Structure 1
């Protein structure tokens, strides 16, 4: 074979691979998948959560799953963008977004997220997810709290990412329950009657309550939720489709790994962070 014909063959192979990948991304999650802390503990090594066993999923493929993500002004985009990327790819799963008044919400850094439903218009949901934010003033208001509490009380699964667990805890729904939170705020959970656990993923009551740590932990959290509800194969399939293969350039994602001077920088910006007691607008 000549160099020219070899190159053409290679180009054809690459083109085919590209089409295959696009097809998988487009159809895989639907057709293919449907077929087939105390302060001392904060800086120490958190107890690792064992991988989800390849056991029976809680739901059958034919069982619908309704997920509601609560949005609010001051929320953090990645807290719910990561989980939603996974949830949308699960079979027979409907993901909705809602805020107190519906319409647009202005997230952290001025990002406008639009067309949310009105919380009061939603009768119930199977799973409610409350993400965190840099300002919790909105979801800590009585009107927001009442709607979140109403939906959480009837939901099969009550979940949060980052300091969204503080919002849930403030409703009273996490009283006596173990919960994760961003490391800088985790110990404030006890002020609302919850039990702070400095892990990246935490569950209580056999998974009725599930929570993820700070921001990026939402992806790990969502994969564990997916494995529990739809099975490990569905979770692994989704992880591969989105190429979730983390290889961070620095080991600085948690105070147990970060250099002391970096932890000190965060403490300066968020006093009390290294004790898990940083203050945030909206939280007493």
Structure 2
């Protein structure tokens, strides 16, 4: 799961020319995509928008980016699955998945994820991403916290999705820093010295610290990170490849939009949620 060649060996079906879907999309941008899919009408409207001049990222495409996604038991798959999909579309970018003990990790709902590397075996990360979870007992343990703090101290970019920001904050690395979090837990950040900001994407220190709100915000977060580091066109390419074109059937994704009775249902399930102070196992 750590690279495209492994994905191909595990059975990803090649498309024309012998390339896997992911490899083909990376190789030639929209030109390759249009040729392989038979292009004209499908890409007719999208091509002009993506052909426009766009802002450059802070990293040259020639500069490699090493991303470490730190997972743990009880973590939420979507918190990092969305960002992972975006990051895999970026040029010269390597994504590694690591956990405290390595191997397979049992996430939320019993999902078994792996095989992961050991955090202690990773010397450094260009970007570290800490996702959130329904149970933060494991990432709040001293051994895990020490590894996250070690990597965060030397990383060029320190990031989180959902209540993964609580894990980072508990290490002390977010003290005095602005950060996003899932709306139900956001005010817990201040208990660790971080500054809670109820936005879908938040950055501090000129982008060294970047965070996304709850769960699905991970895709918005990843696209913002992609645009900042690799440029707008690279981010737009990733967005098109994964067909991120959200059109939710209901406007109930945040308390500012949800009906009062629905908010009450969440508060019953997560006491304190509407005040941003819901409890999550592992957090005091």
- TM-score, with normalisation over the residues of structure 1? 0.84
CA distance in 2, matches of 1:19, 1:81: 27
Q: Which residue of 2 aligns with 1:257?
A: 257
- Structure 2 residue 149 is matched with structure 1 residue 152: no
Aligned counterparts, 1:77-156, within 5 A: 77-156=77-156
Residues in 2 aligned to 1:281 and 1:57: alpha-carbon distance in whole angstroms? 38
- Residue 27 of structure 1 corresponds to which residue in structure 2? 24
Three-state SS of the structure 2 residue aligned to 1:104 is: strand
Distance 1:79 1:212, change over 3 A: same
- What is the SS of the residue equivalent to 2:135? coil
- Cα-to-partner distance string for 1:144-184 (whole Å, 9 max, x where unaligned): 00000000000000000000000000000000000000000
Alpha-carbon displacement from aligned partner over 1:116-143 (angstroms, at most 9, x marks no partner): 0000000001000000000000000000
* Deviation by residue 1:31-79 (Cα, 9 ceiling, x = unmatched): 438x9xxxxxxxxxxxxxxxxx942211111110000000100000000
Cα distance in 1, alignment partners of residues 175 and 208 from structure 2 = 14
Runs of 5+ unmatched residues, structure 2: 1-14, 33-52
Distance 1:115 1:195, change over 3 A: same
Q: Higher relative contact order by CA 8 Å / sep ≥ 6: 1 or 2?
A: 1
**Structure 1: how far apart are the matches of 2:188 and 2:27?**
40
In 2, Cα distance between equivalents of 1:31 and 1:156: 29
Which position in structure 2 is the counterpart of 1:269? 269
Equivalent pair of 2:272/2:278 in contact (CA under 8 Å): yes
What is the rounded CA distance, in whole Å, between the counterparts of 1:26 and 1:104 in structure 2?
26
State whether structure 2 residue 217 is matched by structure 1 residue 220.
no
Deviations 1:2-59 (A, max 9, x none): xxxxxxxxxxxxxxxx969x987541224438x9xxxxxxxxxxxxxxxxx9422111
Larger Rg: 1
Deviations 1:191-226 (A, max 9, x none): 000000000000000000000000000000000000
Equivalences, count = 249
